[in-house]
């Protein structure tokens, strides 16, 4: 199942010169496509063969879920069509009901962060190219990178840009910037600790606007180009990382219990599209470095990963030269909560009205008091 999903995600990157296509998933996946005039069908077939080989080579037996409530009989109590308005490719504005659920979940995660002793940090939505490269993100997940451009520091260029007609003419005045849209919150915290020695572990939490481009996700409201992420991060020694990870796994299980919704907590792997995919996924599966909480959507029964728990071992410690007092690279763990996905999953089952929410969510719903001027 995971291999088929990965192949389907890779297909849009294999279709240069194709103006329409569709994928069928039988005993073997098949891609049907129509070429534009002058399109190179042989190249398309070659790329599809490569994508299929990468996903087949990395396919592994499904591991047992830590928690499996996928077939839990639950009746939806709300409107399954969330109040989401498209405002661009991969961009949606959620209405008040979605926002209220996202805030309730945010408050719940903040309570969890307080229990772990996490300090709150404020992070930007842009990340430097240096940080992205140092983290290995551009090498491992090139399909997600969103690079930025700006008008050059030239008054004539500003005038030409302002006077231009449309995006095409204005594009001629744009220059590459030294930043990208941040694909994850934790990268900023590793950059902050770069070239340092940790005498006490860092336990942190932060919320940020993140961006991950997905060529095959047009119109999909659960696979957004821009989304909000709340993360909990540990950087320190190995024993502390293992304890932090286990505590967060236990907390995810408790959260699923409290919500009483169809879901699974199971081992997972990252969406590697690169040639080294099989080695990367094999490593993750062998050492159980990633777990996901996947919810079943009320609207169509499909799965959406709302939270992930990632054990980085010493990867970021070595990459950012974050060291322990004995000189060894620090270990790190992070847990991510995709607030947009969480809100959509919860909305499908519970709707806008907090009276229909479980006690756990009602406890964390925030009703602002009357504001008075200072």
Q: What is the mean pLDDT of residues 287-294?
A: 86
pLDDT at 17 over 60: yes
Q: What is the mean pLDDT of residues 187-193?
A: 98
Question: 289: pLDDT confidence band, cut at 50, 70 and 90?
Answer: confident
Q: Which residue has the higher pLDDT, 155 or 275?
A: 155
Distance CA 125, CA 87 (A): 19
The H or E element that residue 230 is part of is strand 226-236
Helix (H, G, I), strand (E, B) or coil at 13: helix
Angle at which helices 238-259 and 96-116 pack, to 10 degrees? Answer: 140
97 φ/ψ angles, rounded to the nearest 5 degrees? -65, -45
Hey, what's the torsion of the CAs at 344, 249, 226, 273, to 10 degrees? -120
Q: What is the mean pLDDT of residues 86-102?
A: 93
Task: Give Cα separations from 175 to 124, 126, 179, 211 (angstroms).
Answer: 21, 17, 12, 20
247-262 per-position pLDDT tens digit:
999 999 999 999 999 9
Distance CA 118, CA 360 (A): 21
pLDDT, residue 224, reads 95
Residue (of 199, 4, 228) closest to 94 by Cα position:
228
For the chain, what is the mean pLDDT?
Answer: 89
Distance CA 301, CA 2 (A): 17
Helix (H, G, I), strand (E, B) or coil at 110: helix
pLDDT, residue 89, reads 92
pLDDT at 83 over 60: yes
The distance in angstroms from the start CA to the end CA of the chain is 57
What is the DSSP track for 117-138?
Answer: TPEEEE--SEEEHHHHHHHTHH
Lateral strand order in the sheet of 174-181: 126-128, 174-181, 147-151
- The answer to whether 94 and 343 have CB atoms below 8 angstroms apart is yes
Write b or e for each residue in 124-150: b if 16 or more Cβ atoms lie within 10 A of its Cβ, otherwise e. eebbbbebbebbebbebbebbbbeeee
pTM of the model: 0.89
Q: Residue 284 corresponds to which tokens in the numbers above?
A: 């993750």
Residue (of 363, 360, 348, 365) closest to 75 by Cα position:
348
pLDDT at 308 over 60: yes
Q: Which of 82-86, 154-158, 193-197 has the lowest mean pLDDT?
A: 82-86
């Amino acid at each position: 199942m995971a291999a088929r999903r990965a192949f389907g995600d890779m297909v849009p990157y294999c279709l240069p010169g194709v103006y329409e296509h569709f994928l069928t998933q039988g005993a073997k996946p098949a891609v049907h496509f129509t070429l534009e005039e002058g399109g190179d069908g042989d190249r398309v077939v070659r790329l599809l063969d490569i994508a299929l080989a990468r996903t087949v080579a990395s396919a592994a037996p499904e591991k047992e879920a830590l928690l499996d409530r996928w077939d839990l009989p639950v009746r939806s109590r709300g409107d399954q069509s969330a109040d989401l308005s498209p405002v661009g490719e991969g961009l949606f504005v959620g209405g008040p009901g979605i926002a209220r659920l996202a805030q309730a979940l945010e408050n719940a995660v903040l309570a969890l962060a307080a229990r772990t002793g996490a300090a709150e940090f404020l992070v930007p939505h842009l990340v430097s190219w240096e940080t992205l490269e140092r983290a290995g993100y551009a090498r491992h997940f090139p399909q997600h990178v969103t690079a930025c451009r700006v008008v050059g520091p030239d008054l004539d260029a500003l005038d030409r840009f302002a006077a231009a007609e449309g995006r095409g003419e204005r594009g001629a005045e744009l220059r590459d910037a030294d930043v990208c849209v941040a694909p994850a919150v934790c990268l900023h915290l590793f950059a902050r600790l770069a070239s340092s020695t940790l005498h006490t572990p860092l336990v942190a939490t932060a919320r940020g606007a993140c961006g991950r481009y997905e060529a095959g996700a047009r119109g999909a409201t659960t696979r957004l180009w821009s989304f909000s992420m709340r993360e909990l991060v540990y950087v320190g020694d190995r024993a502390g990382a293992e304890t932090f990870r286990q505590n967060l796994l236990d907390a995810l299980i408790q959260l699923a219990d409290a919500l009483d919704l169809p879901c699974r907590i199971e081992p997972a792997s990252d969406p590697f599209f690169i040639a080294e995919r099989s080695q990367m996924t094999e490593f993750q599966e062998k050492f159980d470095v990633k777990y996901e909480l996947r919810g079943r959507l009320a609207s169509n029964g499909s799965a959406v990963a709302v939270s992930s728990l990632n054990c980085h071992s010493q990867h970021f410690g070595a990459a950012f030269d974050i060291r322990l007092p004995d000189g060894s690279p620090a270990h790190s763990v992070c847990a991510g909560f995709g607030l947009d996905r969480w809100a959509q999953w919860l909305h499908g089952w519970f709707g806008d009205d907090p009276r229909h929410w479980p006690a756990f969510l009602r406890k964390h719903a925030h009703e602002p008091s009357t504001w008075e001027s200072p």
